[in-house]
Structure 1
Amino acid sequence: MENGSDGRRSSAISDTELLRLIGQDLRAIYAEVIRQPLPPRIQATLALIDREQKLAERSRRVLPY
């Protein structure tokens, strides 16, 4: 790459193409993170939240007579 008149390097790639490439890289990184298993403490916390929500739903239901 050549230096421009203001001392900056001129880009051989358009902003649109650069943003597209960054988006591709981010999707690949996030996809890898999502494939990882949850840590046990987070799994336990989510299970606790799920149980609490189910209990709350049951307590809100009105039983028919």
Structure 2
Amino acid sequence: MDNGSDGGERPVAISDTELLRRIGQDLRSIYAEVIRQPLPQRIQATLALIDREQRLPEQLPRSLTH
């Protein structure tokens, strides 16, 4: 007896709550993997430049900033 057009078993129905829980677990797993990856060199260089530019006013003499 055929259970479906593809010959496979019918999927088990799950609640919306369970489905959302599983999706959340999958997303956490994917994001954790992405976060462990090193930043590309261009992004590291850009962040370093931004950091230097933000610190520049702190390094200038007070008479030049006011």
If the length of structure 2 is used for normalisation, what is the TM-score? Answer: 0.71
Q: Which residue of 2 aligns with 1:13?
A: 14
Identity of paired residues, percent? 76
Higher relative contact order (Cα pairs below 8 Å, separated by 6+ residues):
1
Q: Which residue of 1 aligns with 2:7?
A: none
- Shift of residue 50, structure 1, vs aligned partner: 0.3
Q: How many residues align?
A: 56
RMSD: 2.5
Alignment of 1:35-54 (within 5 A): 35-54=36-55
Runs of 4+ in 1 over 4 A off after TM superposition: none
**Consecutive unaligned residues in structure 2, runs of 5 or more:** 4-9
**Consecutive unaligned residues in structure 1, runs of 5 or more:** 3-8
